[in-house]
Homo-oligomer: A and B are copies of this chain.
Amino acid sequence: MKIGELSKRTGVSVRMLRHYEELGLVRPQRTAAGYRTYGAGDIGTIKRVVLLNKAGLELRRLRHLIGCELGDNGMRTQLCAPLQSVLASKHAELARQISDLRKSYKMLSRLLAAQELSMPAPDRR
């Protein structure tokens, strides 16, 4: 598929898909005319990239995980040692992050609940 379609299917902008390639996160083939051609597997790759990126892993770092090292099956093994430690600390950080987000979530929940209570009237048609 071409880049536009992949963009629609993944929800990632064309701009970013090109950027991902620039960073080595995907390796689309090229048509004679130079158009990028993606395989079905790339959809999954892109989604993993987005997920891990949201988790706070910089795109640059993902390069060593996704694409070459992470196979289509999901994950291949053997990462270099420094990367492993980065991952390990990220993993720990993630746990903290999740608990932080939970706190924020609760804070917002309380705040919003308070709003409802103190609303003059729902007034929503």
Contact = CB atoms under 8 A, between A and B. Distances in A.
A95 interface: yes
Contact of A111 (B87, B98, B110): B87
Instruction: Report how many copies the assembly holds.
Output: 2
Main secondary structure of the interface of A (DSSP, over half): helix
Interface residues of A, number: 37
A98 B99 CA distance: 9
A12 interface: no
Contacts of A51: 100, 103-104, 107
A94 B98 contact: no
Contacts of A102: 98
Interface in A39-94: 48, 51-52, 54-55, 57, 65, 74-75, 77-79, 84, 87-88, 90-91, 94
